[in-house]
Amino acid sequence: MQGSMFPFGSTLPSEAFVRLPDRSFHFQPVPGRLSWSRNYAAKGIKFICACSSLLFQVHGNVYPTGYYNVTMYIGQPARPYFLDLDTGSDLTWLQCDAPCVRCVEAPHPLYRPSNDLVPCEDPICASLHAPGHHNCEDPAQCDYELEYADGGSSLGVLVKDAFAFNYTNGQRLNPRLALGCGYNQVPGASYHPLDGILGLGKGKSSIVSQLHSQKLIRNVVGHCLSGGGGGFLFFGDDLYDSSRVVWTSMSSDYTKYYSPGVAELFFGGETTGLKNLPVVFDSGSSYTYLNRVTYQTLTSIVKRT
**117 assigned to some structural domain:** yes
Cross-strand bridge partners of residue 74: 79, 163
**260 assigned to some structural domain:** no
Task: Give me the domain span that covers residue 206.
Answer: 28-240
**291 assigned to some structural domain:** no
- What pLDDT tens digit does each residue of the chain (305 aa) get? 333 322 222 333 333 444 333 333 333 333 222 223 333 333 444 444 445 799 999 999 888 888 899 999 999 999 999 999 999 899 999 999 999 999 999 999 999 998 999 999 999 999 998 887 788 889 999 999 999 888 899 999 999 999 999 999 899 999 999 999 999 999 988 888 899 999 999 999 999 999 999 999 998 888 888 878 899 999 998 877 777 777 778 888 887 788 989 999 999 999 999 999 999 888 877 678 899 999 999 999 999 88
List the catalytic residues.
86, 282
List the CATH number of the domain containing 120.
Answer: 2.40.70.10
**65 assigned to some structural domain:** yes
pTM listed for this prediction? 0.78
How many Å apart are CA 174 and CA 43, to the nearest integer? 31
Domain count, the chain: 1
**61 assigned to some structural domain:** yes
**111 assigned to some structural domain:** yes
Residue 156: closest CA among 141, 172, 145, 147: 145
**180 assigned to some structural domain:** yes
Q: What is the pLDDT of residue 286?
A: 67
**204 assigned to some structural domain:** yes
Hey, what amino acid is at 267? Answer: F
